[in-house]
């Protein structure tokens, strides 16, 4: 690992075991009659984006109205996600803390919950890049800030180009948008983490497969 000046890590299904928008929907739709159908529709859209069959921007725009979420659901979501850290992340917490200078989180998820979930493990707030929610006057989540690079298709590539972080760079993730950083040349290597989910379309394109973060440190 010493050879990488910058290590970029995805959030959903990589640093946590789940797709956080599905957990947010589960909280927000707790009393909705069509809860099961809406959560399934969100999961289907996530899968299409993560396997590269739908643009990330389109999948995000279609998922947010299905969430039915408000600002006051976010603190509950943070508590849920803190119970769902990827096990090998917790096992290797000391290493992640010691390497925080070169570690970055780049996610199509949202800063409003990723920062409070990752800061307790030593991740630096200014090294966390993600979308930000838009709210209406009643606190309903109405969308994602469209000016953010990460709200766009292949937004991770656009962000990395903008940040110009030290090379060589490694991207670790589970999804197609993570692989795109390797395909675009913004990262020299892509390691697919399969501890939480194994997406064949993504794993087939990886330079290396990590069944857990333990293998990264060996
Ligand atoms: Mg992911």
Distance 60 CA to ligand 1 centre (A): 13
1 band by pLDDT with thresholds 50, 70 and 90: low
Question: What protein residues have CB closer than 5 angstroms to ion ligand 1?
Answer: 10, 12-14, 174-175
Distance 37 CA to ligand 1 centre (A): 22
203 band by pLDDT with thresholds 50, 70 and 90: very high
Distance 71 CA to ligand 1 centre (A): 23
pLDDT for 48 equals 93
Distance 186 CA to ligand 1 centre (A): 18
pLDDT for 50 equals 87
Distance 13 CA to ligand 1 centre (A): 5
Q: Choose among 5, 4, 3, 15: nearest CA to 130.
A: 15
pTM: 0.95
**pLDDT at residue 3 tops 80:** yes
Map out the domains of the chain with their CATH numbers: 6-18+84-217 (3.40.50.1000)
Tell me the mean pLDDT in the region 122-149. Answer: 96
pLDDT for 208 equals 97
* End-to-end alpha carbon distance in the chain: 9
Distance 208 CA to ligand 1 centre (A): 16
Distance 218 CA to ligand 1 centre (A): 23
Distance 58 CA to ligand 1 centre (A): 16
| pLDDT tens-place string over residues 32-91 | 999 999 999 999 999 898 898 999 899 999 999 999 999 999 999 999 999 999 999 999
Q: For the chain, give the mean pLDDT.
A: 95
Distance 47 CA to ligand 1 centre (A): 10
SS (H, E, C) the chain: CCCCCEEEECCCCCCECCCHHHHHHHHHCCCCCCHHHHHHHHHHHHHHHHCCCCCHHHHHHHHHHHHCCEHHHHHHHHHHHCCCECHHHHHCHHHHHHCCCCEEEEEEEEHHHHHHHHHHHCCCHHHEEEECEEECCCCEEEEECCCCHHHCCCHHHHHHHHHCCCCCEEEEECCHHHHHHHHCCCCCEEEEECCCCCCHHHHCCCCEEECCCHHHHC
Tell me the mean pLDDT in the region 118-131. Answer: 98
């Amino acid at each position: 690992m010493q050879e990488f000046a910058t290590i970029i890590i995805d959030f959903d299904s990589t640093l946590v075991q789940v797709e956080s928008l599905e957990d947010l929907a589960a909280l927000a739709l707790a009393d909705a009659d069509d809860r099961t159908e809406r959560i399934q529709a969100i999961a289907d859209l996530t899968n299409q984006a993560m396997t590269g069959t739908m643009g990330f921007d389109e999948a995000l725009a279609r998922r947010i109205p299905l969430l039915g979420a408000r600002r006051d659901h976010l603190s509950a979501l943070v508590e849920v996600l803190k119970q769902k850290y990827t096990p090998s992340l917790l096992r290797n917490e000391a290493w992640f803390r010691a390497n925080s200078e070169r570690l970055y989180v780049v996610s199509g998820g949202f800063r409003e919950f990723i920062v409070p979930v990752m800061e307790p493990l030593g991740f630096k707030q200014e090294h966390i890049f993600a979308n930000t929610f838009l709210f209406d006057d009643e606190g309903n989540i109405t969308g994602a800030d469209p000016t953010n690079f990460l709200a766009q298709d292949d937004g991770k590539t656009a962000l990395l180009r903008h940040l110009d972080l030290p090379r060589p760079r490694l991207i670790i993730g589970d999804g197609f948008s993570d692989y795109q950083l390797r395909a675009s040349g913004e990262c020299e290597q892509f390691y697919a983490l399969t501890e939480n989910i194994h997406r064949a379309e993504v794993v087939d394109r990886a330079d290396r497969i990590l069944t857990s973060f333990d293998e990264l440190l060996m």
